[in-house]
Chain A
């Protein structure tokens, strides 16, 4: 292999399944999560939250709290930076309310005391006087002419004239002539769909320990998907310089997009600055539900035309997403992903970003895409049923391929949708008999994936072992895959490498672990850093042998002369060169810093069997198969885990999970007893098939896998449930009451 080239086979370590490096720490309790950080003299904090969905804050009286024994600091909005604009202003407004509480759970003040109990008692003594304002939590109602305005002037210029002020962004894209396409169809189906907001449901609540001195120097230890982002945003919100704030990430007990944003760290920093002591802040589960970032809820209209032979002639969609009391609902991704699996001559999509009195939405695995797939793939399933066509064959007939003009504009590079459909067609699941009361559903899904700013450092030790420093928190097994890729390049055992997620003072800026980017981007950077180290190792060997550096190659963990003309020398293994590196030029460290831009898009096809009890409305998923293109699976066990995790979360989203708001605009189910995520007994064994269509933008062909796996489940399950129940389900979650209502509505015409 050329030192800078790509390879897609002949691997020795990549593609194997070595032990996970964090396994022992996690099963023995040695791993340190966000709430495990402690410091001498540490205070504990508690946040006062609005009990109202929408209210003017008339007065905050902190005097009683401040006089309570043990209380060391109280903060309100006045204790944060002023003059912020754009997204920093939105984040601050969400972290600590200004003059208006915008949703149930919105932070309005915070207190730090010597014990957690004292902090909670003090929080209860903070008196807030509110003037209640009308509220709205439903996306369609928030767009209606009589809806209360969340914030005037929040809309950007993209919004067409005449829309309600709660519509703050607008997207429109597509190509061809949809009216002409619909006229060419033998059958056109038009249907409306709704999905409720769901939470990522990570097991570890947000937690941090923060310290900020009067000199502006500070430290934060926290659980996050992106500590460099925490550093940048916190510095802006508390008004200090970015480099004066050092952020160290803990182990992370799940994130799935929900820990890409900042909620409590600036509050802990502001309290610490006021008390001049370290402050620990840990969210309760109820706070996680009420005041972090669930998904957007949606209202969607889909229209698709198809010929008797199964060719899609035209498709259009309108996607309305509410993302809470701030702009940012990912409606453009919903619109752009909706029809991406299909090669369409005529397609048109519109997206609306709508504000309501709910918490500021955050990313959740492939933000916006699962909802789009639910709506679009349901209509395709209905078309197949009505035209008596095979759902896999129809999808193959219309599938996007390399060179297809994507529904969102550009032509696709090499992609693997067809390969996932063919693997699904060949899977025994597809032809297995169904029992009475069961139905089968198929769906495709699409996600873009991402690259982003990345820096990696790889240092050799004198004993020949290697330490890799990455700046992307490990949310899916990246420490293992980085070790494998470095072992592949260096030719040393995987066990001789340790990968650490380094703090913000150690590496250059690393973008958040999001967008399924880590194995792609940090992996690419690790490979390049290893190649940088190899170049330096070869130079040391060349110097020792007295030959040109170009006359040395690296093979099987050794420097070797590149041919007979280079001279006869015994190969020099890495450990031998490392042992003397202090005396032959100094430490050997490989680096790579870049913004890789070759993240390949990814597709998946899921097959689901579901059984519906028509008396109770209860659904049981009885069989599930995930087929997805991984480009190249570095550690197949982790890849399979990502596939299974996406399917499991999708099952919860499809069947049970939802934010339930009362008429008063308050969240009714802010705990796992009432917000029901699937547990092991709710799930079948989720079968996986890894398809490998190499991504030309990565040296080994890697595509991100963490997000695409949650794109098809909502639709695949909805299709299975609809086929089992004999009635089309158009609202998520398909909880027993909704299924019974659909059956009842059907029975009564």
Chain B
């Protein structure tokens, strides 16, 4: 299981939890696992999110590996000007 930190605004979709656990080996599995566990997260995840793995921000790639040793944060999708 990997531990995923959510931003506070998502608490409404996870029964108040800001930290949740899902079974995942990569970012894609992590996002799918979040939606399975908390279906209300789906619109947010579908709209686009980034995943910070040990501080490295994964903006797009679903194949980046994750493991229980990683510090994982869900953050909002990055774009720029």
A residues sitting closer than 8 Å to B (CB atoms) are: 156-158, 160, 170-174, 200, 256-258, 260, 332-333, 336, 348, 362-367, 406, 408-413, 447-453, 514-517, 595, 597-599, 601, 697, 707
Give the distance to chain A from B58, nearest Cβ to Cβ, in Å: 5
List A contacts of B10 (CB < 8 A).
158
Q: Nearest A residue to B58 by beta-carbon distance?
A: A597
List A contacts of B55 (CB < 8 A).
406, 410-413
New A-B contacts (4) at CB < 8 Å, excluding given A257-B80, A598-B56: A408-B75, A447-B80, A452-B60, A707-B81
The 6 tightest CB contacts between A and B, nearest first, are A257-B81, A515-B80, A363-B81, A410-B52, A172-B9, A409-B73
B residues sitting closer than 8 Å to A (CB atoms) are: 5, 7-10, 12-13, 40, 43-44, 47, 52, 54-61, 64, 71, 73, 75-76, 78-81
A411 lies within 8 A of B54 (CB): yes
B7 lies within 8 A of A453 (CB): no
Alpha-carbon distance between A156 and B59 when the two chains are bound, in angstroms: 21
- Of the residues A367, A410, A413, contact of B81 by C-beta under 8 Å: A367
Alpha-carbon distance between A450 and B80 when the two chains are bound, in angstroms: 7
Give the distance to chain B from A509, nearest Cβ to Cβ, in Å: 11
Most buried by B among A170, A333, A409, A449: A409
List A contacts of B61 (CB < 8 A).
595, 597
List B contacts of A412 (CB < 8 A).
55
B54 lies within 8 A of A599 (CB): no
Most buried by B among A174, A364, A447, A448: A448
Alpha-carbon distance between A740 and B39 when the two chains are bound, in angstroms: 54
Alpha-carbon distance between A597 and B71 when the two chains are bound, in angstroms: 16
Give the distance to chain B from A86, nearest Cβ to Cβ, in Å: 8
B8 lies within 8 A of A173 (CB): yes
Q: What are 21 inter-chain pairs, A to B, with CB distance below 8 A? A: A174-B8, A257-B81, A258-B81, A333-B76, A362-B81, A363-B79, A408-B7, A409-B7, A409-B75, A410-B54, A410-B55, A411-B55, A412-B55, A413-B56, A449-B80, A453-B60, A514-B80, A515-B80, A595-B61, A597-B64, A599-B59
List A contacts of B78 (CB < 8 A).
333, 448, 450, 515
Give the distance to chain A from B18, nearest Cβ to Cβ, in Å: 9
B60 lies within 8 A of A172 (CB): no
List A contacts of B44 (CB < 8 A).
156-158
Give the distance to chain A from B77, nearest Cβ to Cβ, in Å: 9
Most buried by A among B5, B44, B76: B76
Known contacts A157-B43, A448-B57, A595-B60; is-contact A336 B81 (Cβ 8 Å):
no
Alpha-carbon distance between A171 and B12 when the two chains are bound, in angstroms: 12
Alpha-carbon distance between A731 and B43 when the two chains are bound, in angstroms: 36
Alpha-carbon distance between A256 and B80 when the two chains are bound, in angstroms: 9
Alpha-carbon distance between A408 and B54 when the two chains are bound, in angstroms: 13
Give the distance to chain A from B72, nearest Cβ to Cβ, in Å: 8
Alpha-carbon distance between A426 and B13 when the two chains are bound, in angstroms: 49
B9 lies within 8 A of A173 (CB): yes
B57 lies within 8 A of A597 (CB): yes
Alpha-carbon distance between A408 and B51 when the two chains are bound, in angstroms: 12
B56 lies within 8 A of A514 (CB): no
Q: Nearest A residue to B11 by beta-carbon distance?
A: A172
B59 lies within 8 A of A450 (CB): yes
Alpha-carbon distance between A447 and B8 when the two chains are bound, in angstroms: 21
Alpha-carbon distance between A333 and B57 when the two chains are bound, in angstroms: 14
Alpha-carbon distance between A256 and B71 when the two chains are bound, in angstroms: 34
B9 lies within 8 A of A410 (CB): no
List A contacts of B5 (CB < 8 A).
409-410
List B contacts of A160 (CB < 8 A).
12
B81 lies within 8 A of A514 (CB): yes
A410 lies within 8 A of B75 (CB): yes
B80 lies within 8 A of A156 (CB): no
Give the distance to chain A from B45, nearest Cβ to Cβ, in Å: 12
Q: Nearest A residue to B9 by beta-carbon distance?
A: A172
Alpha-carbon distance between A366 and B81 when the two chains are bound, in angstroms: 6
Known contacts A452-B60, A597-B56; is-contact A366 B80 (Cβ 8 Å):
yes
- Of the residues B43, B56, B60, B75, contact of A336 by C-beta under 8 Å: B75
